[in-house]
Chain A
Amino acid sequence: MKSLYSSAIFLLSVLVFTSCQDEMTSTYTYRTMMPVYYEMSDIRARVITTEPAKPLDNPGKIYIYEDYLFINEPTKGIHILNNENPANPVNLSFIPIAGNVDLAVNGNILYADNYVDLLAFDISNISNIQLIKRIEDVFTHMYYHQTGEIITFKDTVLTSENPNWGGDGFWLMNSSMSFSANYSAASQSYGTGGSMARFTLSNGHLYAVDESTLRVFDVKTATDPTFVKPIDLGWGIETIFPFQDKLFIGSNVGMHIYDASTPNSPTRMAVYEHVRACDPVVVNEDYAFVTLRNGTACNGVDELHVIDINDLYNPTLKKSYPMLNPHGLGLAGNFLYIAEGAHGLKSFNASDVMNIDQNQLEFLTDQSSVDLIPGPKSLIVIGPDGVCQFDYSNPARLKKLSCIQVTNPTKFY
């Protein structure tokens, strides 16, 4: 009995002495871009030598060179694969290049960006790749200030106990602003703009576009690229597509056409404007095909536009077709291939541009895709399943040859 008494008293004292007030603690965990600073002198001091093959983590731009595939791993380097047999690509080696997002091959020379520098590698002997030239300080937009320090961003998860970060503060860390969103987009050969360069070769020149600038390199002597000049393009530049001596540059408000007949000084011929959207471009003699996509970074519509470019100074819309969610596209002869994002992969006979929708040849709904490259041996399709190759000798019957698994596949953007 006594013990019950004392326990009752204990309980009463608990009631009386415990502060009778609620407690609230908040934690806010978010992804953010942590700035990381590097001294360019440190980056340049690193010796770049070929390393053994690494599994593909998050493949970016793909470049086809002879029987090889060069696959960029954004900000990390370049994978080299032997694609002699598209049904069985073999991962050969990896070139670690910090800050690398794009590449191009000219003859036996591979060009790759290394933060603010452009590197040239001799790849004539694929098992012994040599760095032969470094052009310093060309992608200067990455400089943090003039002291040779560059700024990049690392995707990080932080936890804060400051309750003010909750509620309305989150927009600051909206994932679409996250570096990785940009970076996965930039990793596509037809992607939305990050702050990174995109390369294309035309007429003995290498053109690199970043968000607002076209940079011209003279590569007539492949082993000795030289920086010619930067050309201001205006904001929102996303893609560059060379055709004959023209450059078709996609921005998020339209398509710029540049005359590159004087290769070291391209001049603007026209701008075809459309609604704000993400818009990869492919071109043939008479028409430009542009996909407009509704997406996080580029609100707009989902359409395929066919633009008459017979008069390059006055491109006009010939016809537009509704699409599901078109991402990258590719043109091989008269056949047009469109990556429809999560909806699949489409092939069309585009010889009659007024009736492309009537001439859909195949729609692979189980082949999610974000981008594609019609290569000499296979149609390379990039999607969440990895990097897949198709035999497209019959565009109405695409035959899957192989898929390279990736550990951190591209998602839809």
Chain B
Amino acid sequence: MNRKSYLLFIGLLLLSFESMAQEGKYFGQTEIGILYGRSAEQWDGNHEERTDLTLLTFHGMKISRSHVVGFSVGLDQYDGVPILPFAFGYRGFLGKEGKPKIFGGVDLGYGSAMLEKREENEWSKSWYRGGLMFSPSVGFSFPALKGNSALSLSLAYKRQDISYFQGFLTGPGAQTIVSDQLPPGFSSLSKTENLYRSFVFRAGLMF
């Protein structure tokens, strides 16, 4: 999916939530937090820690009193690479109305690397490709004294696949050889697939 269709998709979703809100079925959750993880074992046997900012906004529809399905968009960063996760999500609540509640949720979708620029020169090309994002979460919500909103604190696990590609182009004069393994015009291509497993601590609002 290209950038335009993403934006169109998000726009349409937001519009549909707008109409739901008027019926009182809308549920939203916007949180900010940190993403914490440990790198894969490095050459010296050590792990490097990474801590990054994470944003998540979930918009959904109450299908019953304590179940919500919807769509989430976020912004994460992994080793300096920004990722936009788009996901379908679920939130479920446990507890009495007007009291602090326990909630759990799942987001499953695709983390896009479209914010990272593709680098290209005469000899090489390099780019990132996003991948599967899966994030179960649990948390507490504390309702505000007035109105419908609540403070939320959540703890989540987030799995995100990101691949980095770096390819060298065949020099002028080289014959192309047909191969499914190498895209045309490349003499080599290295793919580094990173599976990031992170803990996420977030705080925000539900409304």
Q: Which A residues fall within an 8 A CB radius of B? A: 1, 4-5, 7-8, 11-12, 14-15, 18-31, 58, 155-157, 159, 163, 165-167, 170, 173-176, 178, 180-181, 183-185, 295-297, 408, 410-413
Contacts and interface: CB of A to CB of B under 8 A. Distances in A.
B207 interface: no
B173 A22 contact: no
B174 A174 contact: no
Contacts of A24: 39-40, 192-195
B172 A14 contact: no
> Which 10 A-B pairs rank lowest in CB-CB distance, beginning with the nearest?
A413-B173, A175-B187, A30-B188, A23-B195, A157-B179, A180-B175, A24-B40, A166-B190, A8-B104, A11-B136
B7 to A, nearest CB: 30
B138 interface: yes
Contact of A170 (B94, B156, B168, B192): B168
Q: Which of B66, B172, B191 has the most CB of A within 10 A?
A: B172
B60 interface: no
Q: Which of B188, B189, B193 has the most CB of A within 10 A?
A: B188
Given A18-B197, A30-B187, A411-B172, A23 B177 contact: no
B39 to A, nearest CB: 5
A27 B190 contact: yes
B57 interface: no
A22 B196 contact: yes
B188 A28 contact: yes
Contacts of B39: 21-22, 24
Interface of A is mostly: mixed
Contacts of A28: 188-191
Contacts of A29: 181-182, 188-191
Given A20-B37, A22-B39, A165-B190, A8 B174 contact: no
Contacts of B98: none
B197 A185 contact: no
Interface of B: 37-41, 47, 66, 92-94, 102, 104, 106, 136-138, 155-157, 166, 168-177, 179, 181-182, 187-199
A180 B191 CA distance: 24
14 contacts: A8-B94, A8-B102, A12-B138, A14-B157, A20-B197, A21-B41, A22-B194, A26-B190, A29-B191, A155-B177, A165-B190, A170-B188, A175-B174, A411-B175
B101 to A, nearest CB: 11
Nearest to A173: B188
Nearest to A165: B190
Given A21-B40, A157-B181, A166 B175 contact: no
A31 B156 CA distance: 43
A200 to B, nearest CB: 23
B170 A15 contact: no
Q: Which of A8, A14, A163, A184 has the most CB of B within 10 A?
A: A8
A254 B51 CA distance: 60
